[in-house]
């Protein structure tokens, strides 16, 4: 057993030495530390030094630590000795799975999941749509005063950028692409991380319709081929470049009206203070519940991590407001789970709590997708971001469809699913019937 573990450690050392290391996951924890589940390990660059970031996944929280490479290897070795029964090493050459049993251990090697080693720098080598030095990121504790993303906030930073990337793509491929004014409502905005990011992108980064693109304050090249930078970026998102290379403010910048709806008054006050200090005139936070808030005219409705049936309330608000785009990241699927009466064929599987929970999530979000389609939307249900960054990673997107779906077929599918699992009610369906 010891020899097998050492072979795994040597494979790890080799991958770290030759630059093929992508990531490592430790799982199947049987140790004494309460609530610890997994450790996710990846390379980062801090002050021009490669270190390994350890993300410790607990039942209700994550903690992050950084180690120099030699120390990190020893920490991994110790964890394999004291509780973790499995380890999955990802390299650009191959993947290696270590499984530790009571009497022996075994290694299994397979084809690489990815053929490209993960960039080590905190700010990965990609064109992020959000400037890490943005005022609100500092105010919310995501970035330092120097405009560097904090190590403990790397997952949040990736989540923010991924969300903006998805939202930007949805707009560019919809009827909203050329609309000079966008009305957006974020239902359950919380501390406003994603709300501020959405406003920042559409108000200061995204080009106004018919204008040359500007990203991060860099304008399109002038007639002489010189790229001119606008500093700071022009509010409204676009700068025009004249023949002499002068950066000018566009005549008709895109107008954004974004409202964040949050139940907790202290968060509403905090976010409004940040919005005011940042000069975000089109961004407002209001206190209220999703079920009771009247969004008025809406182009885009967002509901990320609205708990349980609050997601259904948000979807209903988006549908009745005829929102062009509805984006939801559901969580806490509590309504359907206690109703499920497992079909006999699945009784042996769904007796396990974790399988019942996942089934409830699948059924709930599947029904929501069908109900959106019945209401005239084209839907997509996909993984928002990797589970190592957040366990709340499903995203449901609805884009208004001019051609309505066949409601009879959808009604039949919904009825059959409910009957199969013994489900009597689903919140969004009840809303739509009322």
**Domain boundary pick from 42, 75, 110:** 110
d(CA 185, CA 297): 9
Residues 265 and 161 in one domain: yes
Let me know if residue 127 belongs to a domain: no
In a domain, residue 125? The reply is: no
- Output the pLDDT for position 207: 57
Token pair of 363, please?
């059924």
Q: Which of 332, 338, 368 is nearest to 350 (CA)?
A: 338
CA angle 382, 214, 246 (to 5 degrees): 180
Kindly list the distances between the CA atom of residue 219 and the CA atoms of 165, 213, 301, in Å, as whole numbers in the listed order: 20, 6, 30
Phi, psi dihedral angles at 104 (to 5 degrees): -150, 175
- For residue 379, the domain's CATH number is 3.40.50.150
In a domain, 192, yes or no: yes
Q: Nearest to residue 127, comparing CAs of 210, 213, 230? A: 213
- CA dist list (Å): 136 to 41, 149, 423: 29, 12, 44
Q: Is residue 122 part of a domain?
A: no
Does residue 376 share a domain with residue 262?
yes
> Do both 13 and 145 map to the same domain?
no
Domain final residue, candidates 93, 110, 127: 110
Whether residue 275 is found in the same domain as residue 205: yes
Residues 356 and 210 in one domain: yes
What gap in Å lies between CA 377 and CA 403, rounded to an integer? 9
Quick check: 55 and 158 in contact, CB under 8 A? no
Instruction: Please report the pLDDT score of residue 305 as a whole number.
Output: 86
Q: Using CA atoms, how far apart are residues 312 and 428, in angstroms rounded to an integer?
A: 5
The confidence score (pLDDT) of residue 398 equals: 96
Instruction: Provide the Cα torsion 85, 89, 95, 96; round to 10°.
Output: -40
Alpha helices per DSSP H over 34-143: 69-81, 135-139
Give the alpha-carbon dihedral of 410, 414, 415, 419, to 10 degrees: 150
If asked whether residues 104 and 144 sit together in one domain, one would say no
Q: Which two tokens stand for residue 171?
A: 């707009």
pLDDT of residue 220: 34
Residues 352 and 308 in one domain: yes
Domain count for the chain, please give it.
2
At 116 the pLDDT is: 63
Beta pairing, strands 300-307 & 325-331: parallel
194: in domain: yes
The angle at the Cα of 176, spanning 173 to 180, to the nearest 5 degrees, equals 135
Dist CA 354 CA 361 (whole Å): 11
- Half-sphere exposure (Cβ direction) of 392: Cα atoms closer than 13 Å: 18
Q: Are 255 and 181 in contact (CB under 8 A)?
A: yes
Q: Which of 103, 105, 93 is nearest to 7 (CA)?
A: 105
CA distances from 366 to 138, 238, 354 (A): 38, 40, 18
User: For 214-248, b where at least 16 C-beta lie within 10 A, e where not — what string?
Assistant: bbbbbbbebeeeeebebeebbebbbbbbeeeeebe
Are 105 and 140 found together in one domain? no
Boundary of a domain, candidates 76, 94, 110: 110
Cα torsion 288, 294, 299, 303: sign: positive
Query: Is 285 contained in some domain?
Result: yes
Residues 159 and 22 in one domain: no
184 and 35 belong to one structural domain: no
According to the model, what pLDDT value does residue 119 have?
A: 54
pLDDT for position 46: 76
Q: Are 129 and 161 in contact (CB under 8 A)?
A: yes
In the block, tokens 């004291």 appear at 82
In this prediction, residue 154 carries a pLDDT of 84
Is 401 within a domain?
yes
Residue 149: count other Cβ atoms within 10 Å of its Cβ: 20
Q: Is the residue at 296 inside a domain?
A: yes
Instruction: State the pairing for strand pair 49-58/377-383.
Output: unpaired
Are 76 and 211 contained in the same domain? no
Dihedral angle at the C-alpha atoms of 158, 161, 167, 172, nearest 10 degrees? -130
The packing angle between helices 353-374 and 310-320, to 10°, is 10
Query: 85: Cβ–Cβ under 8 A, 6 or more apart, which residues?
Result: 27, 28, 29, 30, 99, 100, 101
Q: Helical H runs in 176-248?
A: 193-200
Are 343 and 386 in the same domain? yes
Encode the chain (434 residues) as per-residue pLDDT tens digits. Answer: 788 999 999 999 999 988 899 999 999 999 999 889 999 999 988 776 789 999 999 887 788 899 999 999 999 999 999 999 999 999 999 999 999 998 888 999 998 987 666 555 444 445 567 888 889 999 999 998 888 888 788 888 888 998 999 999 999 999 998 898 999 999 999 999 999 999 999 988 775 555 443 333 333 333 333 333 333 333 333 333 333 433 333 334 579 999 999 999 999 999 999 999 999 999 999 999 999 999 999 999 999 988 889 999 999 999 999 999 999 998 888 899 999 999 999 999 999 999 999 999 999 999 999 999 999 999 999 887 655 445 567 899 999 987 766 899 999 999 999 999 999 999 999 999 98
State pLDDT tens for residues 92-129.
999 999 999 988 889 999 989 876 665 554 444 455 67
The model's pTM is 0.64
Q: Which domain holds residue 17?
A: 2-110
Contact 190, 200 (CB under 8 A): no
- Three-state DSSP class for 283? strand
């Amino acid at each position: 057993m010891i020899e097998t573990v050492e072979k795994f450690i040597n494979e790890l050392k080799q991958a770290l030495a030759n630059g093929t290391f992508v990531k490592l996951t430790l799982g199947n924890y049987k140790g004494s530390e309460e609530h610890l589940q997994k450790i996710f390990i990846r390379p980062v660059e801090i002050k021009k030094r490669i270190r390994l970031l350890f993300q410790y996944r607990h039942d209700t929280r994550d903690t992050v630590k950084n180690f120099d490479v030699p120390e990190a290897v020893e920490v991994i070795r110790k964890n394999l000795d004291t509780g973790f029964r499995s380890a999955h090493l990802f390299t650009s050459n191959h993947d290696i799975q270590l499984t530790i049993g009571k009497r022996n251990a075994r290694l299994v090697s397979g084809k690489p999941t990815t053929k490209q080693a993960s960039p080590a720098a905190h700010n990965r080598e990609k064109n992020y749509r959000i400037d890490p030095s943005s005022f609100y990121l500092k105010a919310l504790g995501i970035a330092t005063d120097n405009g560097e993303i904090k190590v403990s906030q790397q997952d949040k930073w990736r989540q923010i950028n991924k969300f903006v990337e998805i939202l930007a793509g949805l707009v560019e491929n919809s009827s909203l692409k050329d609309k000079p004014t966008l009305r957006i409502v974020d239902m359950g905005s919380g501390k406003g991380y994603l709300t501020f990011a959405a406003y920042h992108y559409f108000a200061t980064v995204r080009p106004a319709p018919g204008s040359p693109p500007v990203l991060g304050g860099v304008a399109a090249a002038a007639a002489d081929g010189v790229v001119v930078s606008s500093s700071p970026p022009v509010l409204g998102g676009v700068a025009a470049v004249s023949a002499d290379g002068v950066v000018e403010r566009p005549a008709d910048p895109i107008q954004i009206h974004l409202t964040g709806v949050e139940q907790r008054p202290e968060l509403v006050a905090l976010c409004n203070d940040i919005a005011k200090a940042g000069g975000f005139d089109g961004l407002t936070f209001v206190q209220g519940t999703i079920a009771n808030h009247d969004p008025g005219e809406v182009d885009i409705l967002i509901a990320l991590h609205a708990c349980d049936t609050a997601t259904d309330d948000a979807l209903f608000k988006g549908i009745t407001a005829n929102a062009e785009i509805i984006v939801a990241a559901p969580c806490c699927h509590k309504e359907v789970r206690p109703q499920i009466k497992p079909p006999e064929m699945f009784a042996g599987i769904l007796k396990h709590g974790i399988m019942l929970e996942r089934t409830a999530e699948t059924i709930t979000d599947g029904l929501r997708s069908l109900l959106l389609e019945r209401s005239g939307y084209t839907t997509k249900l996909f993984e928002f971001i990797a589970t190592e960054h957040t366990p709340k990673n499903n995203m449901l997107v609805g884009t208004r469809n001019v051609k309505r779906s066949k409601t009879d077929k959808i009604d039949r599918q919904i009825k059959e699913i409910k009957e199969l699992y013994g489900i009597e009610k689903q919140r969004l369906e009840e809303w739509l019937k009322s």
